[in-house]
Amino acid sequence: MQAARHVVVALSGGVDSAVAALLLRRRGYQVTGVFMKNWDSLDEHGVCTADRDCEDAYRVCRILDIPFHQVSYVKEYWNDVFSDFLSEYEKGRTPNPDIVCNKHIKFSCFFHYAVDNLGADAVATGHYARTSLEDEEVFQQKHIRRPEGLFRNRFEVRNVVKLLQAADSFKDQTFFLSQVSQDALRRTLFPLGGLTKDFVKKIAAENRLHHVLQKKESMGICFVGKRNFENFILQYLQPRPGKFISIEDNKVLGTHKGWFLYTLGQRAKIGGLREPWYVVEKDGTKGDVFVAPRTDHPALYRDLLRTNRVHWIAEEPPAALVRDKMMECHFRFRHQMALVCRLL
């Protein structure tokens, strides 16, 4: 008789990953839960939120009668995620640390810990996403050691695994998984990919998982929490005061503490002004932030977008792009933003 497949689930202490573990248990797999501590932070009451989430994840494992492990990636998170976050902001760009965390922590550090230390046949998370593989196909995947050096980029990946949107289009989290490697993706299960959030909550309520069901859903950047974002960033980056300038007549409208604090298109909170103004351009040399009134102002629109290195989930660009030097694609630069059709 074949031994049950071993699946290691990343437990966050929330309802989604708890139900993911429950569903895998129901499928007859040998399930192990792992909580990752990635950041040391205190809430407004001085309580470490990671410790509280860890306790909730442990309770899930007790209820489901599965083994529990805890690992710390605080050092790795600081080096690979948070340092990159600060560096990008300092350059005037707006990074997404959740995407970088998934790439370097969940689907690299945790993935290798699960496979190499716990002997996992596959890993799983509570993300709302799907892949082109069925469960049994995932278990048939083997880790492929890639050649190093000059010929690495020429290494052929057969039977490429695709990242697919979740059935619940509102909760779909493929945006946050857009940098995950092919190696990790081909050995990952997403038990919630075909479910809606409401149905996931119903499953939790019917299976004694009330302690995670009652928790507020985590929103925003995990290491900022409920704190003021500007105050948080200025603990790590030197303030660089500058001016808000109207794009229409170059009139100075107010001052700010750093041009890098603002994202193109966002509403700029300018003291003393009731009407909303929105960021159009940033001058990193002078420290000025140019703003425009109204969301439909022409200065806020662009018909060209430039990007640097592209991460192809399949590891190779599509044949149409190689052949024609352009292709039609859909893109979004923000979670839950409607997909936009453009030429690449």
Q: Which helix (H) or strand (E) holds 177?
A: none
- Distance, in Å, from the CA atom of 70 to the CA atom of 19, rounded to the nearest integer, reads 19
Question: Which two structure tokens, joined as six digits, stand for 174?
Answer: 């493929």
For the chain, the straight-line distance linking the first and the last C-alpha, in angstroms and rounded, comes to 51
| Residue 323: how many other CB atoms lie within 10 Å | 9
Among residues 54, 61, 109, 222, which one is catalytic? 222
Q: Is there a contact between 10 and 106 (Cβ–Cβ < 8 Å)? A: yes
Tell which residue, 225, 222, 262, has the closest CA to residue 240.
262
Whole-angstrom Cα Rg for the chain: 22
Closest CA to 89 of 190, 277, 237: 237
Query: Which tokens hold the place of 259?
Result: 């041009």
Choosing from 54, 101, 109, 329, the catalytic residue is: 101
Contacts of 191 (CB under 8 A, 6+ apart): 19, 20, 23, 24, 124, 126
- Asked about 101 being catalytic, the answer comes back as yes
β pairing state of 188-189 and 252-256: unpaired
Cα 96 to the center of its chain, rounded Å: 7
- In angstroms, how far apart are the furthest CA atoms of the chain? 78
Give the whole-angstrom CA distance, residue 226 versus residue 49. 12
**329 catalytic per annotation:** no
Q: Please list the active-site residues.
A: 101, 222
